[in-house]
Structure 1
Amino acid sequence: MAPTLGAPPTGRHRISGRPRSARWDTFAVVTTDSNATAPRPATDVDRIADDFFAKLVELSPITATYLGIPGHEEDLDDFSPAGHDAQSQLRRDTLEQLDRATPTDDIDRVTIAAMRERLGLAEEVHAAGLDEMSLNVIASPLQEIRGTFDLMATATDEDWGVIARRLAKVPTALEQWKESLLAAAERGDVAPRRQVEACIKQCEDLTADDGYFATLVEDARLSDGNDPGELSEASRAALAEAAGQASEAYAALGAWLRENLLDRAPEADACGRERYQLWSRDFLGAEVDLEETYRWGMQEVDRITAEMEQVAEQIKPGATVKEAIAALNDDPAYQLHGTDELKAWMQERADEVITNLGKDDFDIPAPVRTIECLIAPTQTGGIYYTGPSEDFSRPGRMWWSVPKGVTEFGTWKELTTVYHEGVPGHHLQVAQTVFRSELLNKWRRMAAWTSGHGEGWALYAERLMEELGYMDDPGNRMGLLDSQSLRAARVVIDIGVHCGFEAPEEVGGGEWTYDKAWTYLNAHANQGEEWLRFELDRYLGWPGQAPSYKIGERLWMQLRDQVREQQGDAFSLKDFHRRALDIGGVGLDTLRAAVLGELADA
């Protein structure tokens, strides 16, 4: 998911998360046909997982909205210490039940392993107080509360009434979050000053005369059908009043952060090795050697840079990488004009890949063959994906958040991102899992999400499109490499800064500083200063998340190589994709053990 203030939460809620042949063959038989409808009988393990899922959405209405679960649209999460404790109690109760459960097949074994890993890590995060101190530029309650409104229905006056009633609860939710921030601050746990300052600025932007809450009211329309209608006078008045309350609450939040947290916030951006190791495990669902991964990240940056220089020569002989990119930006062959062209191009690319890859490379069930490409209601930049509802009445969607005033778009740099967010990236990954109602319990289908699994798969999907010949055009290949360069550079910056490793020689070696991190990022990414400054703030405030993309891709590629070696001439790319995706968004260690048939009885 590209960084954007308007993006919805992606599994960030802390609540979430030997003989080979006989066990794996049982699983493989069940999953042979992706359009099969014969249901697998629910087990005790499934009932534990489904009960956890039901209680999860009760405690987290924001998660319910993100997952398309009806019945919670008017409420918001409790971000207070009591709310975090309630989530913790649910996790602990569920883990105790899993300890007493007996698995009946490999599907149960995966569920137990995945829930123990996800919920257990969430408990470690809670015990460390990291949930209460959560504040950063992209993935804290400030953004989650606001972002939930993007996914709400707007077809009728009643839909807008639901939005108004939820908006009216924003002040309470923000007050609850303040309780947690203050409790954490009393323990000495405060987000870095850079993050506090940026969040204060976000509050100002959201509440400006042309900010989110003002434009929400101004732009409100009934979205039923192709001809948007007007809200009733009463509905618009109720919306305006509630949006005003929410706007005032965000303005007050900004002032509160300035008065209560800013002077307590540490100047240092680094979270430290111990906390970073925890965050890395949380985002990957795997434990990696951080020193080795740091060295690998620098090697990847060097490799990709060399490839970009070769492609630059193809684009414009004698040109540097930046000169070649400038030439691509000026080339009419890669230009789209206006958001209508952008939206149509996104849809065409997604539909094309579904048609083509659905033949030999993936089993794509009928409901998953629909993806909806939309221009997001926010204007913050970036592209993101939201999954379908359980019954697919709301399809999977790829959103483009277009900044104000931007009307020109370059397909050379965005094609790889469309593959990442849509098909064969997040859409095939997420929607395929949601579809598996005959195979997987609700938690596995709807709520099991690990960043390294999800974002690693999406980067794997970009690589797959290169392998299949979709990125042979030099411009499109430069876009892929440019994206890969960014992902590799942030492995280096994120691990290096937070763990205190020595900086690369190209920025002077020694201790990492903000200026060194900026110099390194700017040298290996070409997305523009404003966007990259936000990116760097994201790495500094959300430790371990950004590297999970590239590290996750590495682990996915290694897994495919292991399966290919294990199966020899019998290896089928289509079978590998089906088996891996049918497991769902579990941690990468659990995924590897499940695919290779190495899960033992619980």
Structure 2
Amino acid sequence: MSSSTPESTGPAALSPRTPTAVDAFAEDYFERLLALNPEEATVLGRPGVETEYADYSPAGREEVAALQRETLTRLAELQPADDIDAVTLHAMAERIGLDVALHDSGRTELNNLASPPQGVRMVLELMPAQTEQDFTHLAGRLRNLPAALDGYWASLVHSAEQGHVPARRQVEAVAQQCRSYATDDGALAGYLTSGQQAQVSAATQDALAAGTQAAQQAYRVLAQRLETELLPQAPETDAVGIEAYSLASRYFTGTTLDLGETYRWGLEELARLVAAQEDVAQQIKPGASVQEAKAILDADPARQLAGTAALQEWMQRLSDEALAALKDVHFDIPAPMDVLECMIAPTQDGGVYYTGPSDDFSRPGRMWWSVPPEDESFTTWTETTTVYHEGVPGHHLQIATATLVKDRLNSWRRHGSFVSGFAEGWALYAEQLMAELGFLTDPGDLMGMYDMQRMRAARVVFDIGVHCGFEAPPEFGGETWTPERGKEFLRAHLPISPAQLDFEFTRYLGWPGQAPSYKVGQRVFEQIRAEREAAAQQAGETFDLRAFHTELLALGMVGLDTLRFAMRP
């Protein structure tokens, strides 16, 4: 897309710009939205609301929806002053419109990964925990956590009264999580230990103890309510159906998918990746199957890590090496976004995730590994690509770049718009890109990258197939997908431990539309790049990959339709 602002591509895409009326409108909306979401202020490192939570009750949810409806009405009256404004208006209309549609659907989110029971606890991980004041804030937020969960429970009841009850599997999983958070050695108990190690005053330690106990009791209460009041109403069926799935898919991707075409493409992509792994297996040992090649890699002592301390040290070393090698060669990575911390998460749910830097970068971007207690050893060949996915050039580079360009984009563009298809699509594209750039020449690391790509392709098939009632491949029965048949399919294609498989299986069933967004987003990034390369060739110009990536990441996070609008040749 040609820009009416000077210097729109390459490193200049990070250059300052004079704010417009559209920017002022977006800033005002973002500030009003932030006032209703104190946890997001903590994510951004903003002071003043360190002890507060959002109102998760029906009234609180309706207050947010009212602001969004008002914003949509006013949005239609605005005219762009430049191409950046045009992208802002396009993105806001798409994102906020879907927020309202989801609210109006009457459903309250409950799943094992990304619903309020996890969110109100996870925000505590992002709070500073060094000074007396830090622990006073932690104690205050812990004290207010019960009210947040009470409001959330009221919304679950309200949704149930309208006929929207989460599936039984999700209710049971979240109840179990809540109980695990509340144990004496659970995720919440660590704040007491941290306060003792920081040698805070007796008064602050008492407040921390009282807040921790209140939060633990609140989770026990929520677990009991889920089990005794919601579970008897919960349907056995996990599939949400095509109508609900289509809305969820639009939210996670920012585009309307042809679900049948995407399902068929997922099957084709899966077959392509299996064939690629078979080729790599021959590099590891001629004549070996993929499983035999993996067994050889697993048995290699040089590829083994014992314990979480070794895992964390290896993650940090690999991340630092990647950042140093990519900086100012393949990507623009100016300070302060050239710092990434690798952490072991306080939970043991399974999975890896990234949290962005504070707006001033005083808290750096962080990669978190949540390790199930039974997982005590790790293999580097399986996890190298995960470090690139979560760190550089994956999530960290994308989110830190958006955080950095505060002199170019408004706050809503940088922080208020989250689209899984963009974030996860970019991270999956980044994995493949590292192979292209020569960072995965080791056959084991390359096998691991294909493993992760294969897993994401399998999720396209599973997620769409199960939730929409499509027909399974012949080797898995050839009839309508069931969760049980789907789990066997995942077991065949997901290279993860049994504990991780159980977690992921439950996640996909409870978070419809999210899992395919990785591969769908990657597909769009690759298509846009191919279009740009073809346009450059047609014009007799050299395609600048580094400049292309900088221009793309400087957009912030937008839906895939908006991405195509912004990046058209």
After TM superposition, the score normalised by the length of structure 1 is 0.91
Tell me what 2:120 maps to.
145
8 Å Cα contact 2:403-2:415 kept in structure 1: yes
Tell me what 1:393 maps to.
362
Q: 1:205 pairs with 180, 203, 209, which one?
A: 180
8 Å Cα contact 1:58-1:72 kept in structure 2: no
Q: 2:248 pairs with 266, 273, 279, which one?
A: 279
Of 381-390 and 239-248, deviating more is 381-390
Tell me what 1:127 maps to.
104
Q: 2:389 pairs with 420, 439, 444, which one?
A: 420
Partner deviation per Cα, 1:19-43 (whole Å, 9 max, x = no partner)? x6xxx14346145435965x32211
Relative to structure 1, is the Cα distance of residues 173 and 408 closer, same or farther in structure 2, using a 3 angstrom cutoff? same
Work out whether 1:370 is the aligned partner of 2:339: yes
- Local SS of the residue matching 2:341: strand
Relative to structure 1, is the Cα distance of residues 444 and 285 closer, same or farther in structure 2, using a 3 angstrom cutoff? same
8 Å Cα contact 2:421-2:520 kept in structure 1: yes
Q: Work out the CA distance in 1 between the residues paired with 2:42 and 2:488.
A: 40
Tell me what 1:220 maps to.
194
Q: Work out the CA distance in 2 between the residues paired with 1:512 and 1:373.
A: 38
8 Å Cα contact 1:136-1:538 kept in structure 2: yes
Partner deviation per Cα, 1:476-496 (whole Å, 9 max, x = no partner)? 011111111111111001000
8 Å Cα contact 1:35-1:365 kept in structure 2: no
- Local SS of the residue matching 1:369: coil
Q: Work out the CA distance in 1 between the residues paired with 2:525 and 2:6.
A: 19
Work out whether 1:585 is the aligned partner of 2:560: no
Amino acid at match of 1:149: L
- Local SS of the residue matching 1:409: strand
Relative to structure 1, is the Cα distance of residues 578 and 183 closer, same or farther in structure 2, using a 3 angstrom cutoff? same
Tell me what 1:81 maps to.
58
Partner deviation per Cα, 1:90-114 (whole Å, 9 max, x = no partner)? 1112112211112100010000000
Q: 1:61 pairs with 31, 35, 38, which one?
A: 38
Q: 1:458 pairs with 416, 427, 430, which one?
A: 427
Work out whether 1:345 is the aligned partner of 2:314: yes
Tell me what 2:467 maps to.
498
Amino acid at match of 2:552: A
Work out whether 1:113 is the aligned partner of 2:90: yes
Tell me what 2:170 maps to.
195
Tell me what 2:274 maps to.
305
Q: Work out the CA distance in 2 between the residues paired with 1:451 and 1:289.
A: 18
Q: 1:548 pairs with 497, 517, 522, which one?
A: 517
Partner deviation per Cα, 1:97-155 (whole Å, 9 max, x = no partner)? 2111121000100000000000001111111112xx21111111111111111111101
Relative to structure 1, is the Cα distance of residues 508 and 28 closer, same or farther in structure 2, using a 3 angstrom cutoff? farther
Work out whether 1:575 is the aligned partner of 2:547: yes
1:157-306 superposed matches below 5 A = 157-217=132-192, 219-221=193-195, 229-306=198-275
Amino acid at match of 2:114: A
Following TM superposition, by how much is the alpha carbon of 1:575 offset from its aligned partner in structure 2, in angstroms? 1.4
8 Å Cα contact 2:245-2:513 kept in structure 1: yes
Relative to structure 1, is the Cα distance of residues 25 and 246 closer, same or farther in structure 2, using a 3 angstrom cutoff? closer
8 Å Cα contact 1:199-1:254 kept in structure 2: yes
1:485-564 superposed matches below 5 A = 485-564=454-533
Relative to structure 1, is the Cα distance of residues 27 and 298 closer, same or farther in structure 2, using a 3 angstrom cutoff? farther
Q: Work out the CA distance in 2 between the residues paired with 1:36 and 1:514.
A: 46
Q: 2:11 pairs with 24, 33, 45, which one?
A: 33
Amino acid at match of 1:145: V
Q: Work out the CA distance in 2 between the residues paired with 1:194 and 1:379.
A: 19
Partner deviation per Cα, 1:508-556 (whole Å, 9 max, x = no partner)? 1111112100110001112021111110111100000011011111111
Amino acid at match of 2:429: Y
Following TM superposition, by how much is the alpha carbon of 1:72 offset from its aligned partner in structure 2, in angstroms? 1.6
Tell me how many residue pairs correspond in the alignment. Answer: 566
Q: Work out the CA distance in 2 between the residues paired with 1:589 and 1:36.
A: 23
Following TM superposition, by how much is the alpha carbon of 1:451 offset from its aligned partner in structure 2, in angstroms? 0.3
Which 5+ residue runs of structure 1 have no aligned equivalent?
Answer: 1-19, 223-227, 598-602
- Local SS of the residue matching 2:305: strand
8 Å Cα contact 1:57-1:64 kept in structure 2: yes
8 Å Cα contact 1:27-1:106 kept in structure 2: yes
Q: Work out the CA distance in 1 between the residues paired with 2:395 and 2:152.
A: 30
Q: Work out the CA distance in 2 between the residues paired with 1:71 and 1:326.
A: 53
Following TM superposition, by how much is the alpha carbon of 1:316 offset from its aligned partner in structure 2, in angstroms? 3.3
Work out whether 1:408 is the aligned partner of 2:377: yes
Question: What is the RMSD of the two structures over their aligned residues, measured on CA atoms?
Answer: 1.7
8 Å Cα contact 1:376-1:401 kept in structure 2: yes
8 Å Cα contact 2:30-2:416 kept in structure 1: yes
Following TM superposition, by how much is the alpha carbon of 1:68 offset from its aligned partner in structure 2, in angstroms? 2.1
Relative to structure 1, is the Cα distance of residues 319 and 297 closer, same or farther in structure 2, using a 3 angstrom cutoff? same
Q: Work out the CA distance in 2 between the residues paired with 1:405 and 1:229.
A: 30
Amino acid at match of 2:461: V
Tell me what 1:52 maps to.
29
Identity between Structure 1 and Structure 2 (%):
50
8 Å Cα contact 2:132-2:204 kept in structure 1: yes
Following TM superposition, by how much is the alpha carbon of 1:561 offset from its aligned partner in structure 2, in angstroms? 0.6
Q: Work out the CA distance in 2 between the residues paired with 1:230 and 1:376.
A: 23
Amino acid at match of 1:237: D
Amino acid at match of 2:156: L
Amino acid at match of 1:592: R
- Local SS of the residue matching 1:323: helix
Partner deviation per Cα, 1:398-419 (whole Å, 9 max, x = no partner)? 2222333644321111110000
Tell me what 1:102 maps to.
79
Partner deviation per Cα, 1:43-76 (whole Å, 9 max, x = no partner)? 1100111011111211011122222222221001
Relative to structure 1, is the Cα distance of residues 180 and 25 closer, same or farther in structure 2, using a 3 angstrom cutoff? closer
Tell me what 1:336 maps to.
305
Work out whether 1:596 is the aligned partner of 2:565: no
Q: Work out the CA distance in 1 between the residues paired with 2:11 and 2:526.
A: 24
- Local SS of the residue matching 2:354: strand
Amino acid at match of 1:336: L
After TM superposition, the score normalised by the length of structure 2 is 0.96
Which 5+ residue runs of structure 2 have no aligned equivalent?
Answer: none
Of 278-287 and 62-71, deviating more is 62-71
- Local SS of the residue matching 1:103: coil
Following TM superposition, by how much is the alpha carbon of 1:221 offset from its aligned partner in structure 2, in angstroms? 4.0
Q: Work out the CA distance in 2 between the residues paired with 1:304 and 1:401.
A: 27
Q: Work out the CA distance in 1 between the residues paired with 2:13 and 2:317.
A: 25
Relative to structure 1, is the Cα distance of residues 297 and 324 closer, same or farther in structure 2, using a 3 angstrom cutoff? same
8 Å Cα contact 1:48-1:97 kept in structure 2: no
Following TM superposition, by how much is the alpha carbon of 1:370 offset from its aligned partner in structure 2, in angstroms? 1.6
8 Å Cα contact 2:263-2:465 kept in structure 1: yes
Amino acid at match of 1:343: Q
Amino acid at match of 2:246: Q
- Local SS of the residue matching 1:510: coil
Q: Work out the CA distance in 1 between the residues paired with 2:5 and 2:548.
A: 13
Q: Work out the CA distance in 1 between the residues paired with 2:334 and 2:299.
A: 40
